[in-house]
Amino acid sequence: MSKSQRTPRQFLFNYFILILFVVACNADKSKEILTSNTYELVYSLPNSKVWDPSWSKINEVNVHILADPDNLHPTNGSSQIRDEILQYLHCALINTDLQHGNMRPSICESMPKFSDDNKSLTFKLRKGITWDDGTQITASDIVFTIKASKCALTNNVSNKFFFENVKDVLIDSSDSLKFTIVFKSASEYNLPMWCDYPILQENKFDFDNRLRTVSINQMNDTNFIQSANPKLVAWATLFNQEEMGKNPKLVSGLGPYQLEKWEQGQYISIVKKKNHWTSQLNDSLNKAYPEKIAFRIAQDPAVQKSSFISQLFDASGAFPTRLLFELQQDKIFNKNYHSKFVDTYGYTYIAMNMHPDGIKQQLILNDINVRKALAYSSQIDNMIKVVNKGINKRVAGPVAPLKKEYNQDLKLIPFDLKKANELLDASGWIDSDKDGIRDKKINNKKVSLTLELIYFNTIPDWKEMAVIIAEGMKQAGVLIKPVACDYPTWMEKVSTHNYDLAMGSWNTSSFPEDYSQLWSTASYIGNGSNYTGFGNATSDSLINAIAKETDAAKKIILEKKMQQLIYDEQPYIFLYGLVRRCVVHKRFDHATFYAERPGILYSPLELSPLCNKSSVNN
């Protein structure tokens, strides 16, 4: 499991792909639509020409997932699978254009217009877009969404940064569908922050208009204490409650599907709404063909394998690399499924707690020599070869190699025990008692060079990865204790900085990189996604400069400088770029795999019309 999960998404938004071109290929093979350098970005799969009698005619998609989302709350959450499911339950002003690597209008008529100073955006909502109760969406719903996301009492730590720059919303007096969002300053995030972000119905989530008693200007006023406003507190108490993200009666949005049932640890099913407004659109990406999409949990590779062999699952983007390798050798599997390894914008890492408190965590990783020594003693190449069959490509820094701003000057750190030993020796870590583990006196107390490495227990391969990492570091005299955690425990530990080492991954996108979420000091102090404590006034200033720079060439120079700062401080051990293991059953037409998250869209999957020509009933 990865953090988007940012997250919340990372809602790490990244804007344009530099090099895109169409490549024609054999119609019987996957079509490589877009490429960026050596990476494929879109694969359009061919529709089946023959219907197999073993294929089910039930118009439902059964999706394999690894674990439950943290919740299905529209604003409060951070897991990747949550974001994936929400896109079917909610709608946004604009969506990620998976085909072309930028953005496209969704519930607005066209892409919004920037003001001359780039400090405001004017939108016009489409006509005919209605909530489930039949009422028309208006600009008031946008204002409410902004207030709900901006409110200091809302538990949306991962997203709140983007809304801090919103100064006001001006509704056109003559048109309730037209509005202008005004920002405090020009920023590259002002547009992509709306991409795929759920728009909420005011009458549903604030039926007695408590948020209308507080203005956006008041929320911007540092002297206005929101927790002292009884109406705001009452609203937030209801809005933040767990049921708002789990109860089918309360999980509600503009999307074509609604939550039907959530059996914790088993499955989440969403069903298609009747006569939904999207049914009138000609846009194939907004079409909803399956009557039901069920996200079914299976963590055991043996169960995953048997479920695909017996065709109980229709799709997945989440099972182990070695399992897909194995399944691709099976003629029956290949007859029934499209499958491919697709490079993504994400990467895996091991975060290092740069500010241990000296009580729960020993004063070890505050030393840059130790952090670098751990990087030099990490058997990353061997780990990729053994666990991922050499599919994944190593990364040297915090930006995916698919992106034009990736700093190619950063060199991959090799497995070099000599260098690791030199660094540890220089910092006074020696094996004084000859037990194979280095130690050192800190504050007159002997401290063993022993560290705990936490990882997700929902990803089978990660246990093996943690063991291989530990084996390499043991050769440098460092004892690593791998500890498996469920997602809530992992998140609690890293967000409160109660850990030594944490293995995780970030799923980013093609939009502009948001360095503030992972690397600003404010994100560390505020228990955000800066888990390591990286940063100072210099790096914060550079992050702000990147966000404000509008010249593309100058911006890339700043970004590469930022990546170099992170590389030099070694807050992460950067492991490898993520590869999505994409699988879709051939009984569906219009299957496409994307480098852009979520990688596969299930609502456009249409049961092949060939099934109507078959006399076999399933």
Sequential DSSP letters for 77-132: --BHHHHHHHHHH---SEEEETTTTEEEESSBSSPPEEPTTS-EEEEEBPTT-B-T
Q: What is the reported pLDDT for 461?
A: 86
Q: Can you tell me the distance from the alpha carbon of 485 to that of 491, in angstroms, rounded to the nearest whole number?
A: 9
Do the domain assignments include residue 7? no
Torsions phi, psi for 287 (to 5 deg) = -75, 145
Q: Is the same domain home to 105 and 161?
A: yes
pTM above 0.85, yes or no: no
In a domain, 72, yes or no: no
What pLDDT score was predicted for residue 428?
A: 97
Q: How far apart are CA 121 and CA 180, in angstroms?
A: 5
Q: 369 and 337 share a domain?
A: no
**CATH number of domain containing 325:** 3.40.190.10
Give me the numbers of helices (H) and strands (E) for the chain, helices first please.
Answer: 18, 23
Residue 566 and residue 422 in one domain: yes
Q: What angle do CA 388, 10, 505 make, to 5 degrees?
A: 25
**Is 503 found in the same domain as 399?**
yes
Per-residue pLDDT, 517: 87
Token pair for 596: 């852009």
Number of domains within the chain? 3
- Look at residue 189 in the predicted model and tell me its pLDDT: 82
Q: Is residue 569 part of a domain?
A: yes
Task: List the beta bridge partners of residue 352.
Answer: 501
Q: Give the CATH number, domain containing residue 439.
A: 3.10.105.10
Residue 496 included in any domain: yes
CATH of the domain at 148: 3.90.76.10
Residue 23 lies in a domain: no
- Report the distance separating Cα 482 and Cα 382, nearest Å: 18
- The alpha carbon of residue 581 and the mean position of all alpha carbons in its chain are separated, in whole angstroms, by 16
Q: From 207, 242, 277, give the residue that closes a domain.
A: 242
Structure-block tokens of residue 208? 């007695």
Output the six-digit token pair for 309: 């062999």
The distance from CA 282 to its chain's CA centroid, rounded to whole angstroms, is: 29
d(CA 360, CA 91): 44
Structural domain boundaries, residue 389: 346-578
Q: 59 lies in a domain? A: yes
User: Count of alpha carbons within 13 Å of 279, Cβ hemisphere only?
Assistant: 11
Q: Is residue 453 part of a domain?
A: yes
Asked if residues 15 and 192 have their Cβ atoms less than 8 Å apart, the reply is yes
Measure the CA–CA gap between 156 and 82, rounded to whole angstroms: 14
Flag whether 1 is in a domain. no
Q: Are residues 587 and 574 in the same domain?
A: no
**pLDDT value of position 575:** 97
Residues 500, 555 within the same domain: yes
Contact 5, 83 (CB under 8 A): yes
Helices (H), 377-514: 380-387, 417-426, 460-474, 487-495
pLDDT at 612: 87
Do 429 and 520 fall within a single domain?
yes
Same domain, 481 and 423: yes
Is the same domain home to 215 and 337?
no
Q: Diameter of the chain by CA atoms?
A: 82
| Burial environment of residue 65 by CB neighbours within 10 A (0 to 12, 13 to 18, 19 or more) | buried
Are 446 and 338 members of one domain?
no
Q: Indicate if 166 and 214 belong to the same structural domain.
A: yes
Indicate the residue among 204, 223, 242 that finishes a domain.
242
Say how far apart CA 185 and CA 194 lie, in whole Å.
16
Report residues of the chain scoring pLDDT below 50: 1-37, 615-618
Residues 353 and 437 in one domain: yes
Q: How far apart are CA 144 and CA 560, in angstroms?
A: 38
Residues facing residue 505 across a β-bridge: 348
